[in-house]
Amino acid sequence: MAAIKFGTDGWRGVIGADYTFDNVAKVAQAYADYLNSQGAKRVVVGHDTRFLAARFAERAAQVLAANGLEVLLSKSYVPSPVLSFAVKHLQADGGVMITASHNPPEYLGFKIKGSYGGAAVPALIAEVEKKLGTEAKPFDPSRHKIERFDVRKPYYDHLMSLLDIEALRGYEGVLYHDSMGGAGGGWISGFAKHAGLKLEVRGIHEVPDPMFYGVNPEPIPANQFTVMTVLKAEEGTTFAAVTDGDADRIGAVLAGGANFNSHQIFAVLLKHLVQRRGLSGRVVKTFSVSRVVELLAKKLGVELLTTPIGFKYITDEMLKGGVLIGGEESGGIGVDIHLPERDGIFNALLLLEAVVKSGKGLGEQFAEIEAEVGFKHSYDRLDLHLPSMDHIRAVVEKVSSPQPIAGQKVVGTDTLDGVKWLFEDGSWLLFRASGTEPVLRVYCEAQSEQAVKSILAEAKRLVEA
């Protein structure tokens, strides 16, 4: 059972190695035991477009059904946020999403959703982990039933109730959507048709591909060559929304081909919700999110809270109430009027609404924010693959004692999640072990692109040493 360990968002493993049908059945049994201990009746199960994902979802559904639960299994692949919506819409007591999100193609995962329609909070995960070890109950198709569900129309109707549909119906421009071969393919274009928009949605990589067209399905520049090339020919306010493998995370590419990262998206959405929508509430950001969000929240007069990395911590805060928006560096952003959950599809449409109602492109909107808060944002991240978790722990221990780097003087450290070096001008460098794979993530925000490159280059040399 040592191979089964929940990370920042569920359990993930390499298909055929630790991620096997037997192990999926054991995790499903542990979750079934938890649900039955809570008096649960109904659970929904969905999956993404990865290799054998549908088969693994069916196996999880069989185990849950064998434990006396009413099980609803998606008719086809679905985005994670749609599965979360289904939990609430179908009045289920919980949910399972078979996905490895943004991880490489050889991975699959097991995400648990709470009855509130969002990522399982740490306390729930801890209870499920305690129950790991019991053999799965056998499934008898003559006694145990599994029903199929499709919530596409109710989900679209729900989004229509949240967005300024009249403003969007008046927009006759183009929106690109790169779903990276993942579960988001066709969902934005489907919404546009459902809502009667004049908007032209141009899909990229819409056909599902378990290999994600040769890249990891994470919306960062290293994986966005195609969409960045396509957008080079565009002008004006046109942009591309990029969703990850299960469409809960979002990235964007601007006309001209420039990347628009998750920090910038978070800031634009925050300002849009407060100043154009007139909404209020707490802002929750994870440890690796830009200082721009922190400074903007202060400028707008809204409370800000910083959590460890992992959307489950944001979900925890959303369930307490009073949260307007919460987000993480990896592109997961949740808006409380929708679900206590990340949703790349909804966020793409909300970004479009910000463009339509402001008459300004995303880049122009963010430049205005930089001017307002007095901080110029540049950012990048390195994912350093090390031989083992022992190597990663050794590096983290070493960087706990900071030193000057790339001409920057360290004036403080923060160890909320990993080790963050704080520099005099507000820039920072963070070393943190991935919660799902043997990777050391090194994050940096500074006030120029050159400064970021220099700091990360020296940080990499430090790690390699």
pLDDT per residue as tens digits for the range 44-61: 999 999 999 999 999 999
Percent of the chain with pLDDT over 70: 99
pLDDT band at 164 (very low <50, low <70, confident <90, very high): very high
Domains, in order of start, for the chain: 6-151 (3.40.120.10), 168-373 (3.40.120.10), 378-464 (3.30.310.50)
* pLDDT reported for residue 412: 96
pLDDT per residue over 9-37, tens digit each? 789 999 999 999 999 999 999 999 999 99
* pLDDT reported for residue 434: 80
pLDDT band at 1 (very low <50, low <70, confident <90, very high): very low
pLDDT band at 435 (very low <50, low <70, confident <90, very high): low
* pLDDT reported for residue 390: 85
Query: In whole angstroms, how far apart are CA 284 and each of 85, 121, 122?
Result: 21, 15, 17
Pull the structure tokens for residue 131. 């129950």
Examine the pLDDT at 2 and tell me if it is beyond 60.
no
Query: Strands, E, within 333-374: which ranges?
Result: 333-335
pLDDT per residue over 237-268, tens digit each? 999 999 999 999 999 999 999 999 999 999 99
Q: Which of 217, 93, 73 is nearest to 149 (CA)?
A: 73
* pLDDT reported for residue 436: 60
Q: Which of 3, 255, 210 is nearest to 106 (CA)?
A: 210
Q: C-alpha angle 43/46/49, rounded to 5°?
A: 170
CA dihedral 196, 230, 219, 172 (to 10 degrees): -20
The residue-averaged pLDDT of 381-387 equals 91
Pull the structure tokens for residue 73. 């299994």
The residue-averaged pLDDT of 174-194 equals 98
Claim: this prediction has a pTM higher than 0.75: yes
Q: Give the whole-angstrom CA distance, residue 197 versus residue 168.
A: 7
Query: Strands, E, within 169-262: which ranges?
Result: 174-178, 200-204, 239-243, 250-254, 259-260
- 122 CB-contact burial (10 Å; exposed 0-12 / middle 13-18 / buried 19+): middle
pLDDT per residue over 74-108, tens digit each? 999 999 999 999 999 999 999 999 999 999 999 99
Q: What is the average pLDDT value for the chain, to the nearest integer?
A: 95
Examine the pLDDT at 138 and tell me if it is beyond 90.
yes
Query: In whole angstroms, how far apart are CA 393 and each of 17, 287, 418, 419?
Result: 24, 19, 10, 11
* pLDDT reported for residue 131: 95
Pull the structure tokens for residue 359. 């008459």
Q: Give the whole-angstrom CA distance, residue 428 versus residue 151.
A: 43
Q: Give the whole-angstrom CA distance, residue 219 versus residue 80.
A: 16
